[in-house]
Structure formats: C-alpha cells, structure tokens
Amino acid sequence: KTEGSVWITWFCIANANVSQCADAVRIICNEVEALVKKCGKPKMLDAIKLPPPELYMHVEEIAGDELVKVLQIKEKIPRRKALSSLEEEVLSILSETGYVSKDEVSETTPDLFEDEDEDEEVVLDGEIDEGDVHIKPVSRKSAPLLFSELDVKVVFKEVTSKFLRRRIVEGGKRSDGRASHDIRLINSRCGLLPRAHGSTLFTRGETQSLAVVTLGDKQMAQRIDNLVDEDDVKRFYLQRFANVAYSEPQGAWYDSD
C-alpha cells in the first residue's frame, strides 16, 4: 500500500466482480430467450451437414497407429509435415480410391454402365451369350461408397485433436514434451537491426516475431486517393492489447480516492 493508491491483484479483482458479471449476463440471456420465444423461428437442423458417423471409424482405422507416432515428434515443423502427409494418405484412400473396413461396408455403389440393371450379370470377353442364358456368368465387382474431401478433412482434424488430448490427459505430456503446467521458453532481443530506428525479436518456443520501427515526417505518410478533392493519409501503428487479454499474472494500481 502506498499513499493515495493501493495494489490489488487481478485475482482479487476477478473474485470480487465475477458474481456481478454473472448476474448481468443472466439478465441479458433471459431477455434474449424471451425475444426468441416471441419472434424466433424454428431452427433449421436439417440444413446442418455433419460427416457420416462411420467415417470416424475409418479414419482411426487407417491413421490411428501412425497418428500416435506423429504426435510424439517434438519439433513443430517436422510434426506438421508428417501430419500433412498422413492427411493426404487418408484423403487418397477415402476420397479417391475408396476404403473398405475389415467388417466391410454394407452400403456399396455398383459400378454399372449406362442402361445396365443392377442385378444384370456381365459376360466376360470371349464367352458365349445364348439368349437369356449366359455361359460362365460373372457378377460385376461393386465399388465402395466414397466420402467427400471436406468431410474427410474435418474428421481427420477432429480425430487428431482427440488423440492429442488423450496423450496429454493420460500421458501428461504435450507433443513437444512439456507437461500441462509448463510454458514455452520466452526470450526477446532489442536492437537487432542496426539501420532501423528500432527493432526487436520476440521468441516463444519455436515461434518468432520480428518488429521493426522506422521514423519519418508527414511527407512519408501513405496517401489515399478519394472521390473528393482532399486526400487522406494513413499512418501505420501497432496497438498493444490490454494485459488481461493475454492472461498475464500482473497487478494493477488503483486510486484509493
């Protein structure tokens, strides 16, 4: 505590205000529900297109074992490349050449020629057709039911998230080896570029961000042509979010008056 102000942690502020926020949000929700009952329209659930349920089983059956290995790769870029390659493999099987599980897909799409009946038997080249009696009849092989590329991509992403969560919950480790309570190493360097007026390199784990600042007078502002006689100018700036947006464990100074 200092003269004229007091130090309050974000944790204390959150505990003090959470009940008031909940009450305010509850009032808004009640008003929205009342408006929906009065003016709302029936939900169009039929318009929602979800991937076929059996597709999840097929993706896990094809990529499950390999997905476990890929999620153990610690480096981000090699892991992403391996996931992309595995996704392409799943797409080539399920969306192009088709896939039949060990139990076999019950629904099949017969590979028929135009004007050919589904139950018609096909005569092999060189065989004799005597009216309605075929010599050595052979049934045409049916092709499995394929899935759309979009559905396969959506399901592959969900299955990947499922396997990753299982690894974290059961094994206690992320793909890069960190525990659930560990954070990436953070580092920053200033004055990296000597000819710029200001520069800094921010590093968090394998992610890097380079910020460069150069100063200029009004004549260097970007001019924007308008339909009117006067031209506008645009200045670039970097706006920093508030600390709470990043969930930073900081406190705040509040005036006691």
Give the pLDDT confidence score for residue 84 in this predicted structure.
Answer: 93
Q: And the tokens for 128?
A: 């004799």
Cα(190)–Cα(77) distance, integer angstroms: 26
Cα(67)–Cα(220) distance, integer angstroms: 52
Give the pLDDT confidence score for residue 23 in this predicted structure.
Answer: 86
Strand spans (E) along the chain: 5-9, 108-109, 129-130, 133-134, 143-144, 186-190, 198-204, 207-213, 222-224, 232-234, 251-255
Q: And the tokens for 246?
A: 């990043």
Give the pLDDT confidence score for residue 225 in this predicted structure.
Answer: 72
Domain spanning 51-105+141-182: CATH 3.40.640.10: no
Cα(170)–Cα(168) distance, integer angstroms: 6
Name the nearest CA neighbour of 203 among 181, 185, 182.
Answer: 185
pTM above 0.85, yes or no: no
Residue 174's CB is within 10 A of a number of other CB atoms, namely 15
Between the two ends of the chain, the Cα-to-Cα distance in Å is 13
Q: And the tokens for 132?
A: 């309605």
Cα(57)–Cα(221) distance, integer angstroms: 57
* Cα angle 247, 253, 257; round to 5: 140
Residue 147 buriedness (CB in 10 A; 0-12 / 13-18 / 19+): buried
Domain locations in the chain as residue ranges? 8-40, 51-105+141-182, 183-215
Each residue's pLDDT tens digit in the chain (257 positions)? 444 444 455 556 656 677 788 888 999 999 999 999 999 888 888 878 889 999 999 999 999 999 999 999 999 899 999 999 999 999 988 885 544 443 444 444 444 444 445 454 444 444 444 444 444 443 333 434 688 888 999 999 999 999 999 999 998 988 888 888 888 889 999 998 988 888 999 999 888 888 888 887 777 777 777 777 666 766 665 545 455 444 444 444 333 33
